[in-house]
A and B are shown apart, each in its own frame.
Chain A
Amino acid sequence: MIGTYSLAIIPLLVAFFVTYGAFHKVPVYETFTEGAKEGFEISIRIIPYLIAMMVAVAMFRASGAIDLLALAFEPILEFIGMPADLLPLAITRSLSGSGARGIFAEIATNYGGNAPITKTAAVMLGSSETTFYVLSVYFGAVGVKKFRHAVAAGIVADLAGILVALLVSKLFFY
């Protein structure tokens, strides 16, 4: 059901924009191509920012630093009642979208689709965005190099999300 819904919404949206434009006497074809020209330039502009971010994140993941962090955080985990297997996911989801999905798939395969820990992981993953990717794409597109409060706020929101996900999952799944 969700599949059909998301399949229908894009064609509908495209049709709506074009119809609305035509209705208001906009030359839709010309206007579309004129606007679309910008797409290439923006994508190119993002590249240096994305390279900087993705290389650093990939190095961090490959070095095993996340396992080390997990070890360091263990006492805190016990305190907040978080299963140790969720920690790599909690750390990775702000850094790498595909990485986080991979870790989630692993948890889901190991524990099965009906285990509370799988559902908790699902909530953790579904409730968040890849903070560092978003920052580098959006700021990169407009050439902003000093991110000011956006980094700290993004991280705090992510941490809050992890804690709330644990709490809510305790209430719903356990």
Chain B
Amino acid sequence: MMNWIWLFFILSSVIISLFNGKIDEVSNAILSSAQSAVTISLGLVGIMSLWLGLMQIAQKAGLIKLISRFLSPFLKLLFPGIPKNDPVQADIALNVSANALGLGNAATPFGIKAMEGLKRLNPNKQDVASDDMCTFLTINTAGVQLIPVSVIAILTSVGSGNPGEILIPTIITTFSALCIGIIFVKCLIKISPNPGRKK
């Protein structure tokens, strides 16, 4: 699917811009976005290393195991491929809570730790996503966030009388989208489960 989406983005942009004369803008976009992808990745190094270091402490101290044991029954429902009390459960829990609290910086390293754990449990070939990875990313792309800090900041800056007004509608929306996403991904998994290592 990614192959098709990628091809679609690139081909349609070139064709459209040939017709509307925006081809030079597309040309600039190619160069500058390739550059900024590197800037963004390298910009992650500091914060990523920081949280991974703290995670290592949490793991050595048994905090990760403790969280896992606590959340195991609940996460078992969403991620049937994870064995009981596996430490990856804590990584997932930390990722989801960091996202919910709006700590995007911390959420990414936690999430990548979780992905590494899920990779260890992946019953498919190593470059094919597992069912649990799909569920996990559905939760992440839904972006459950209790307080959208940057949105509130923009609202305040344009003189909104009561920016807090958007909080409850936002929470209702994000949870509805999350539930629909999870139901949908679970249906897809039912129709076409992990392909395994064959072929």
Contacts and interface: CB of A to CB of B under 8 A. Distances in A.
B81 interface: no
User: What's the interface size class on A, roughly?
Assistant: 35 or more
B63 interface: yes
A149 B169 contact: no
B147 interface: yes
Contact of A142 (B54, B59, B112): B112
A84 interface: no
Contact of B25 (A62, A113, A150): A62
Interface in A119-147: 119, 122-131, 134-135, 137-139, 141-147
Contacts of B116: 141-142
Given A17-B57, A113-B159, A58 B142 contact: no
User: What's the interface size class on B, roughly?
Assistant: 35 or more
B158 to A, nearest CB: 4
Interface in B1-45: 1-2, 5-6, 9-10, 12-14, 16-17, 20, 22, 25-26, 28-30, 32-34, 36-38, 40-42, 44-45
B53 A36 contact: yes
Which 3 A-B pairs give the minimum distances between C-beta atoms?
A35-B56, A129-B143, A39-B49
18 contacts: A5-B147, A9-B101, A9-B103, A26-B57, A26-B60, A35-B54, A43-B41, A52-B6, A58-B33, A63-B16, A63-B22, A108-B157, A131-B141, A138-B111, A149-B189, A153-B134, A154-B138, A161-B174
